[in-house]
Amino acid sequence: MKPSLLELRHLRTLLTLAETGSVSAAADRLFLTQSALSHQLRQLEAHYGLSLFERKSQPVRFSPAGERLLTLGREVLRAVEDADRALARLREGEAGSLRIAVECHTCFDWLMPAMDTFRSHWPAVELDIVSGFHADPVGLLLTGRADVAIVSEAEAQPEVCHQPLFAYRMAGIAARDHPLAERKVWQAEDFADETLITYPVPDAMLDLVRKVLRPAGVSPARRTSELTVAIIQLVASRRGISALPLWAVKPYLERGYVVARPIGQPPLTSELYAACRTQDAPLAYMQDFLDTVRGTAFATLPELAPLSVLPDGAGPSPLLPAEK
């Protein structure tokens, strides 16, 4: 039997392909060109003399040979990650603290599952959420009241390191019988004569206002609510329209309470970053927490995209994906 050319990167490629369902999406997730990823796959197929998946299926359907390598990948990568954590504990110790502050009302949809997974990785690290919504979570880092801050912008600050998490689609939300439900794409002017329902946060924290409405000179009537479910109820009752992360409204779309439409062309997207003190960024449990957040979010939330580049002045980050 000839020596195997199988490497960890091949297994990660196959698992990402299975998770995303397409070669292009997998390439984006792995920060590879589509041709580089395709080359990896063809190399494996040539080595084994077997097809690993059906190229014309959507999502990708794996062959028996591909399924065997997926099973191997899950087992091997899990074992490697466990070994990495064990060695990190030997080097740095098992205990620590992660107090998390958020400026995002909908972050808990993906944060809680990530925290649950992380606890099994680092049971001696104390996890806590800094209570309440915070308009300046980075300030909590600098005053020692938080260890991680989830923020929507990576603004350069001394002693603060920003790590990219992911980008996500924002969706315009309307009642099923609202006139805007008939439009395939909403533009800034569609909001002009409507009541916009938002969370009670400054306009600088609302990407719809900052990226779409203000540049177009549109200033609709406003109403606020603290709770996502209350915003959905108000929208369904035709008290106004809103713009929310697609992942936050997906359950209500599936029940038919409201409809969602893209905003602008290209569609409006928002970003999330994790900020921490620069001195804490290299900690193994910090890195593992951020990896767990990304992995959990990509596995469970719709239409996420990777963030590979930080805004000018906010980096470089020690946790940015390695260049391929």
pTM of full prediction above 0.85:
no
Dist. CA 231–CA 242, nearest whole Å: 8
Distance of alpha carbon 275 from alpha carbon 137, whole angstroms? 9
Helix (H) or strand (E) holding 150: strand 148-151
Contact 112, 160 (CB under 8 A): no
What pLDDT, in 10s, does the model give residues 233-275? Answer: 999 999 999 999 998 999 999 999 999 999 999 999 999 999 9
pLDDT tens for residues 171-210? Answer: 999 999 999 999 999 999 999 999 999 999 889 889 999 9
- For residue 166, the surrounding DSSP H or E stretch is strand 160-175
Q: List, in sequence order, the alpha helices (H) in the chain.
A: 8-20, 23-30, 34-48, 64-92, 108-121, 137-142, 207, 214-216, 228-236, 246-254, 284-300
